[in-house]
């Protein structure tokens, strides 16, 4: 059986007397985009810095493709590309000079450096800026250079810490597209506190709150974490709300205006069946009925409670 890309066992870390991360364990078995979600100060950056080898954990173990990152840090780092929250750029180098420097740092063979740099320049859409000084690039293009340095050595795992921070909406869309493109060939871990970022880009979610892992699963499982308890119903010729409230399994009815209702239920399918049946019998002319999902913010708040 193939080793997971990342395996974290009982990871804990403290700064002085305060624990930033406490007894976190998880595995990332395959390719895809894994969102590391949590409030500011939840422990996301600490976890990423430990996985990428920037800091050493207080307790626990991290394995990258089966390699113990503490015992064999250099071997583990060969498989990792990392873009911290503030890209590690040298403004007085040209884009090409900087990426050649990064390729050498990442043990790319001399004969392969120029082809590797050409490849990431093209992938990140910055070939036309290769001779430009980094300090003369816009924030969005500097971020692309940061992404290029993270993938120049073709790592199996790429870690992005808040990669769209400070970018304008167009730049955010471009960086998201680039991250999805990168994830076709490798595993991506993306740290963010922005819920819509996770929903737009990620396949899987790990959520950390107050240094503890409170959720791990697919984006769909996250969306459905709180069981929905209401229906949105629209009819052309509806009855009075009191009549809808008498339907078996209905707990309450809220009039939303324009012949729309929110109906709270005990069992959604039974109530939907009843509404469809009664609408046909009484000519209510049902035009829409759907289960309402919980908002991302409600799910985030509910999961955050688990940390307390």
What's the confidence (pLDDT) of residue 152? 96
pLDDT on residue 189: 95
pLDDT at position 46 is: 92
pLDDT at 308: 54
The Cα-based distances of 301 to 6, 170, 296 in angstroms read 28, 29, 9
pLDDT at 30: 79
Q: What pLDDT score was predicted for residue 63?
A: 96
Q: Reply yes or no on domain 1-79+159-170+181-222 having CATH 3.40.50.300.
A: yes
Residues 201, 139, 45: CA angle, nearest 5 degrees? 55
What are the extents of the domains in the chain? 1-79+159-170+181-222, 86-154, 230-292
Whole-Å CA distances, 265 to 22, 107, 244, 258:
39, 60, 11, 21
Residue of 121, 123, 138, 136 lying closest to 186 (CA atoms): 123
Q: How far is CA 288 from CA 229, 233, 238, 269, 285, in A?
A: 17, 6, 12, 14, 9
Per the CB < 8 A criterion, the answer to whether 36 and 48 are in contact is: yes
Prediction pTM value:
0.75
Residue 17: how many other CB atoms lie within 10 Å: 5
- What stretches in the chain show pLDDT beneath 50? none
CA atoms of 102 and 81, how far apart (whole Å): 11
pLDDT reported for residue 23: 94
Planar angle of CA 93, 167, 98, nearest 5 degrees: 15
Q: How far apart are CA 1 and CA 204, in angstroms?
A: 22
Q: Is it true that domain 230-292 has CATH number 3.40.50?
A: no
Same fold, 1-79+159-170+181-222 and 230-292: no
pLDDT tens digits along 49-96: 999 999 999 999 999 999 999 999 999 999 999 999 888 999 999 999
**Segment 238-250, tens digit of pLDDT:** 999 999 999 988 8
2 DSSP assignment: P
């Amino acid at each position: 059986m193939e080793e997971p890309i990342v395996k974290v066992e009982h990871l804990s870390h403290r700064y002085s007397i305060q624990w930033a991360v406490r007894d976190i364990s998880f595995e990332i078995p395959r390719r895809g985009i894994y969102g590391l979600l949590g409030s500011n100060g939840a422990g996301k950056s600490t976890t990423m810095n430990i996985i990428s080898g920037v800091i050493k954990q207080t307790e626990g173990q991290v394995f990258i493709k089966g390699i113990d990152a503490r015992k064999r840090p250099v071997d583990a780092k060969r498989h990792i590309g990392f873009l911290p929250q503030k890209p590690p750029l040298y403004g007085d180098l040209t884009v090409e000079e900087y990426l050649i420097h990064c390729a050498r740092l990442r043990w790319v063979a001399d004969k392969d450096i120029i082809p590797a740099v050409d490849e990431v320049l093209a992938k990140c859409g910055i070939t036309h800026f290769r001779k430009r000084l980094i300090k003369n690039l816009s924030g969005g293009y500097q971020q692309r250079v940061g992404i290029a340095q993270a993938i120049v050595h073709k790592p199996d795992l790429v870690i992005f810490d808040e990669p769209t921070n400070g970018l304008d909406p167009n730049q955010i869309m471009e960086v998201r597209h680039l991250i999805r493109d990168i994830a076709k060939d490798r595993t991506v871990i993306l740290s963010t506190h922005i819920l819509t970022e996770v929903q737009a880009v990620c396949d899987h979610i790990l959520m950390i709150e107050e240094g503890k892992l409170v959720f791990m699963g697919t984006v769909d499982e996250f969306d459905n974490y709180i069981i929905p308890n209401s229906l949105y119903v629209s009819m052309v010729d509806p009855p009075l709300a009191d009549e809808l409230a008498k339907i078996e399994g209905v707990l309450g009815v809220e009039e939303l205006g324009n012949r729309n209702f929110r109906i709270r239920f005990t069992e959604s399918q039974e109530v939907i069946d009843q509404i469809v049946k009664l609408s046909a019998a009484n000519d209510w002319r049902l035009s829409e009925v759907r289960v309402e999902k919980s908002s991302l913010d409600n799910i985030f708040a509910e999961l955050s409670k688990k940390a307390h």
